Amino acid sequence: MSEVVMGTNRVKLIFQLFFLKKDGKQSVEVSEVEEINFTEVKSRIEHGESVFITSKQMRELNLNPIVNEEVAELRVQLI
Protein backbone atom coordinates (compact mmCIF):
# COMPACT_ATOMS: atom_id res chain seq x y z
CA MET A 1 0.00 0.00 0.00
CA SER A 2 1.33 3.45 -0.89
CA GLU A 3 0.98 5.92 1.94
CA VAL A 4 2.39 9.42 2.39
CA VAL A 5 2.32 11.53 5.56
CA MET A 6 1.63 15.23 5.01
CA GLY A 7 1.60 17.28 8.19
CA THR A 8 -0.85 15.61 10.56
CA ASN A 9 -2.74 13.92 7.71
CA ARG A 10 -2.01 10.59 6.11
CA VAL A 11 -2.58 10.33 2.40
CA LYS A 12 -3.29 6.90 0.95
CA LEU A 13 -2.71 6.52 -2.78
CA ILE A 14 -5.50 4.74 -4.61
CA PHE A 15 -5.03 3.75 -8.23
CA GLN A 16 -7.92 3.98 -10.67
CA LEU A 17 -7.79 1.56 -13.58
CA PHE A 18 -10.02 2.16 -16.59
CA PHE A 19 -10.46 -0.86 -18.84
CA LEU A 20 -11.95 0.07 -22.22
CA LYS A 21 -13.40 -3.07 -23.74
CA LYS A 22 -13.33 -3.74 -27.42
CA ASP A 23 -17.05 -4.49 -27.85
CA GLY A 24 -19.95 -2.92 -29.74
CA LYS A 25 -21.05 -0.96 -26.67
CA GLN A 26 -17.56 0.42 -25.95
CA SER A 27 -17.95 -0.69 -22.32
CA VAL A 28 -15.72 0.78 -19.61
CA GLU A 29 -14.85 -0.98 -16.37
CA VAL A 30 -13.41 1.10 -13.54
CA SER A 31 -11.50 -0.41 -10.62
CA GLU A 32 -10.01 1.34 -7.59
CA VAL A 33 -7.12 -0.56 -6.03
CA GLU A 34 -4.26 -0.01 -3.62
CA GLU A 35 -1.89 -2.16 -5.69
CA ILE A 36 -1.85 -2.69 -9.45
CA ASN A 37 -1.94 -6.27 -10.73
CA PHE A 38 0.24 -5.88 -13.81
CA THR A 39 -0.38 -9.50 -14.85
CA GLU A 40 -4.08 -8.67 -15.23
CA VAL A 41 -3.29 -5.40 -17.02
CA LYS A 42 -1.01 -7.23 -19.47
CA SER A 43 -3.63 -9.92 -20.08
CA ARG A 44 -6.34 -7.37 -20.83
CA ILE A 45 -4.10 -5.51 -23.26
CA GLU A 46 -3.29 -8.79 -24.99
CA HIS A 47 -7.06 -9.38 -25.37
CA GLY A 48 -7.49 -6.04 -27.15
CA GLU A 49 -8.63 -3.81 -24.29
CA SER A 50 -7.19 -0.37 -23.66
CA VAL A 51 -6.04 0.40 -20.13
CA PHE A 52 -5.66 3.82 -18.49
CA ILE A 53 -4.18 4.16 -15.00
CA THR A 54 -4.46 7.22 -12.78
CA SER A 55 -4.03 7.81 -9.06
CA LYS A 56 -5.97 9.74 -6.50
CA GLN A 57 -5.27 10.57 -2.91
CA MET A 58 -7.54 9.51 -0.07
CA ARG A 59 -6.92 11.59 3.04
CA GLU A 60 -7.04 9.99 6.46
CA LEU A 61 -7.22 12.66 9.13
CA ASN A 62 -5.15 12.17 12.26
CA LEU A 63 -5.90 13.98 15.47
CA ASN A 64 -3.40 16.70 16.13
CA PRO A 65 -1.09 15.57 18.99
CA ILE A 66 -1.26 19.05 20.54
CA VAL A 67 -5.05 18.75 20.82
CA ASN A 68 -4.63 15.35 22.51
CA GLU A 69 -2.27 16.89 25.09
CA GLU A 70 -4.75 19.71 25.80
CA VAL A 71 -7.58 17.20 26.31
CA ALA A 72 -5.39 15.20 28.71
CA GLU A 73 -4.63 18.39 30.68
CA LEU A 74 -8.34 19.21 30.93
CA ARG A 75 -9.07 15.73 32.27
CA VAL A 76 -6.40 16.17 34.95
CA GLN A 77 -7.85 19.54 35.93
CA LEU A 78 -11.36 18.12 36.23
CA ILE A 79 -10.25 15.30 38.55
| Per-residue pLDDT at 13 | 85
Which residues, in sequence order, are CB contacts of 34 under 8 Å at separation 6+? 1, 2, 12, 13, 14, 15
Q: What is the mean pLDDT of residues 59-70?
A: 53
In this predicted model, which residue has the larger pLDDT, 12 or 15? 15
Q: What is the mean pLDDT of residues 40-44?
A: 95
**Does residue 32 contact residue 18 with C-beta atoms inside 8 Å?**
no
Q: Look up residue 47 and give its DSSP letter.
A: T
CA 52/CA 54 separation, integer angstroms:
7
| Per-residue pLDDT at 61 | 52
Q: pTM of the entire structure?
A: 0.59
Structural domain boundaries in the chain:
3-78
Residue 50, beta-bridge partner list: 20
With a cut of 80, say whether residue 24 has pLDDT above it: yes
Band (pLDDT 50/70/90 cuts) for residue 79 is very low
